[in-house]
Amino acid sequence: MALPIPANITFDIYRAGTTPPAAPAVAGVLGHLQCDWRGGQEGGDRLTNGLCWTHVVLIDVSIDLRDAYVGQGSYVTQDAVYIPDKNGTPFAVVFIERLQRGAPNEHKRVYLDRMTPVWPTNEL
């Protein structure tokens, strides 16, 4: 399947419990990253709601990426992505939704929460 818009980033995927410098679970994934600070804060209080996000990335539907949401407003640590690679800025994977099911441009929308980057950075 294809993304509905061209990719503008690559990233590496790390499963819960692993971080760089370990090898990523999946390396060099293509995606389209967009900032969504305002949208990610509207759902609740940033200090008490672990399901807030700062960015959204669109990815191919075939990518194995795991979110933190376990239902009923609860969450657990799952995958993290590092943009553009394991040396880049880390993001926690908050929630994933599948869009355009069955269409030629079926894809996933992934809600990310930016973790502390290594400053200075041009990767945001």
Task: Please enumerate in sequence order all residues whose Cβ is within 8 A of that of 62, keeping only pairs 6 or more positions apart, or say none.
Answer: 1
Instruction: Kindly state the average pLDDT of the residues 95-111.
Output: 92
The model scores a pTM over 0.85: yes
Of the CATH numbers 1.10.3210, 3.40.190, 2.60.40, 2.40.10, which one belongs to the domain with range 9-114? 2.40.10
At 123 the pLDDT is 67
The whole-angstrom separation of Cα 57 and Cα 111 is 7
DSSP string, 6-26: ---EEEEEE-TT--TTSPPSE
At 118 the pLDDT is 79
